[in-house]
Every structure is written in C-alpha cells, then in structure tokens.
Amino acid sequence: MNIKEYKDIYVFCEIRDGKIHDASLELLGEANKLVSGRPNLDYKVVGAVIGNVSDEALEQAGHHGAWKVMNFRNEGITHYSTEIYTTLLSRMIDESKPDILLIPATVLGRDLAPRLAARCDTGLTADATKLEFDPENENSSLLYVTRPAFGGNLFGTIVCENTRPQMTTIRPGVMEPLKSDAAREFTVEKKDVEISGIKELVKVLEVIPKPHKGVDIAKADLIISGGRGIGDNFKILREVADKIGAEVGASRAVVDAGIMEKDVQVGQTGKTVRPKVYIACGISGAVQHVAGMEKSDFIIAINKDPGAPIFKTANIGILGDALEILPLLAEEIERIRQ
Ligand code: FAD
C-alpha cells in the first residue's frame, strides 16, 4: 500500500427515513472543519451514500458540506445489509483511495465499520469524540483520534500510521453540523452497482419502527435530568418539565434501576445532548454522565451535597433538595416568561 496515493476525507452518509441521518451531517461538518484547517493538503469532503435514495437526500448532503456526493445504486438494496454495504464501500476505497473515512457511531455504523476495516486491512478507532490533524506537522494528514477509555476516566489518542484509509466512528451529537446552505456548490455522482455476487449471511426482511415516545432528547433545547437523588419521584420532574416545555432526561443510575427508559439516558453509554439549558437534579456528576451533557450552553445543577462534582461543570449550582427547589424554579421561570 502506497499511502501517498490516498487523499480526501470521505463521510459515510447513513440514510434514515429517506434522509441523511443527523450523525452523518455532523461528520460532514467536522470533515469541512478539518480540511479548512489544513488547506495545504488540498483535500475535499466526499459523502458516500448507498441505496436508491431521493435527489433531495443527496442534495441534503451537499447542502451540509459534501463537495461531492457519491451514490451507489441498485434496485436490490432495500434495507441495510452488512455484506452489501461492506463490499460496496471496500470497492469504493479500492477505486477512490480516501485518506480518511468517517462513519457515525450509530447502530448501523458500529456494525459496518469494523467489518469494513477488517476487509480493507486497515485500522479503526471506534467511538471517537475528537479529531485533529497531526499538530506537530502542518503538512501531515495523519489523524489524531481521541476517544474515552476505561469508563471515561482516561482519554486515549490513537493514530493509524501505516495503512489507509484512516477509519473512525464518531459518537452522534459530539460534532457540529454546518448550517444547511442551498448555495453551497457540490457535484453528485450516481453509480449503478452490481450486487448479484455478494453473499448475504444475514438478511433484513422488514424494519418495524419503534413507536415514537415524545421528542428525542438529543434534539431538545431544554432538558431536566434526574438522577439517583430523585429516585422514583420523576412525576415531579415531569410536571415541571411540562410547565416549562422541557424534555426529561436521566442518569444511568435511574435507568439501571428501571425507573426511566434507556432512550433518555444521558452520558457516555447514553445520548450526547447539547441543549440551551440543562438542569441536572440529584445527579452527582460522574465523568460518564458529564461526557454526555458538558457541551450544553448553560448548566444548572441542584444537589444536596456541596462536594458533588456536578457543581464543577455547572454554570449555576443550587445547594438543596431538588424536589423542593424544582417547583420553585418552575414558578420563577413562568413568572419571568409572563
Ligand atoms: P449518584 O452518583 O448516586 O448521585 C446521586 C446524587 O444525588 C448525589 O450527588 C446526592 O448528593 C444527590 N442527592 C440525593 N438526594 C438529593 C435530593 N433530594 N436533591 C438533590 N440532590 C440529591 N452514568 C450516566 O449517567 N450516563 C452514562 O451514560 C453512563 N455510562 C457509564 C459507562 C461506564 C462504562 C461506567 C463504568 C459507568 C457509567 N455511568 C453512566 C455511571 C456513572 O459512573 C455513575 O454511576 C452515574 O452517573 C451515577 O448516577 P447519579 O448521579 O444519578 O447517582
């Protein structure tokens, strides 16, 4: 492998409900940030889309920062297939030789990326939270990929020096997407591909969407989260949340206790959120929780323990019983609004 032949940053654009998944849009944003920070590499950002998707979806990738959108099409691709996707992307890698390939760490991406890395005999850093080019050498395209390790207590930075592409999966909600801009220039390359020779060991026959319960907390502007200190008193949290138009989140302690559902868990093994305001109630502020909410614009913490680590992350800390303070806070917010 002559790694000098490899160029550009490719982003795997996952399709969800006919549109590009938000997590892929975030990666297009991050890829643009990387290339604009190192103009001497003269890299471009390419989006790779699989399936017979609409022109709107392909344009969506362009409007969010793909300079070129490659779309691999075949009538037979109706659902995600590990084998088909791996084969098509490894063909793309053989032909186009991307230096870097970013894949969202969604359920699909976590299935696809390791298989693809093994097929291409290259390295993969999974679940990254930070990307930067080699800070020591401004002509280098070596990617420094940082990810949490040992339960979030340590961060490791990993490089893939000898093989290409440099592959990484990135947690949804961590990187910033670009604002959609219809004036952005991009090209679309649709390719009809052959899939008849690909042996599928596992075949998805049908996708049954899970009934949608409320708003996805990853997209909420205002979140009130409760932890072990709230126990099974989430009714109070919900009442306050309804009053002020917030979504309710939770720490892993209450999810593990079966009090709240996993899809509202905030943190390293839950969702990454970045609301305008995050109110943490009865949450101690373990690193694994903070990893999922520290990018919120404004953080309010309510805790009985003056030594709780959450106070180090919070913009405002309120010392006391959250179950008494929350209703007062809601009244105050309502008063200010009127
Ligand atoms: P506790 O740590 O028990 O804190 C409860 C807090 O409530 C205390 O600070 C206490 O002073 C306060 N309190 C008690 N009563 C009141 C009251 N009436 N009013 C106000 N304050 C009160 N955790 C996550 O949250 N998300 C994750 O994604 C996650 N992933 C993990 C991944 C790994 C690999 C590991 C090892 C752990 C992970 N954890 C995660 C768990 C994490 O380490 C903590 O155990 C967890 O966040 C603690 O939850 P908590 O703050 O609700 O509970």
Give the rounded percent of residues in the chain with a pLDDT score beyond 70: 98
- Token readout for 40 is 């001497």
CB 284 within 8 A of CB 308: yes
Take residue 163 and report the two structure tokens written for it.
């093989």
> How far apart are alpha carbons 192 and 75 in whole angstroms?
9
- Spatial neighbors of 147 by CB under 8 A, at least 6 apart, are 125, 126, 127, 128, 129, 155, 156, 158
Distance between Cα 101 and ligand 1 center (Å): 35
Going by the annotation, the residues of the binding site for FAD are 228, 251-252, 265-269, 282-289, 303
| Residue 48 to residue 29: CA distance in whole angstroms | 14
Per residue in 63-72, pLDDT (tens digit) is 999 999 999 9
Binding residues: 228, 251-252, 265-269, 282-289, 303
Among 153, 289, 302, 310, which residue has the most ligand 1 atoms within 8 Å of its CB, making it the best to mutate? Answer: 289
Task: Please give the ipTM for the structure prediction.
Answer: 0.99
pLDDT digits (tens, 9 = 90+) for 275-334: 999 999 999 999 999 999 999 999 999 999 999 999 999 999 999 999 999 988 888 877
pLDDT over threshold 80, residue 150: no
d(CA 7, ligand 1 centre) in Å: 44
- What b/e string do you get for 101-134 counting C-beta neighbours within 10 Å, with b at 16 or more? bbbbbbebbeebbbbbbeebebbbbbbbbebebe
- How many Å apart are CA 143 and CA 132, to the nearest integer? 6
CA of 255 to the centre of ligand 1 (A): 10
Q: Report pLDDT for 323.
A: 92
Calculate the dihedral angle through the C-alpha atoms of 285, 289, 295, 300, rounding to the nearest 10 degrees: -40
Query: How many CB atoms are closer than 10 A to CB 85?
Result: 23
Distance from residue 292's CA to the centre of ligand 1 (Å): 13
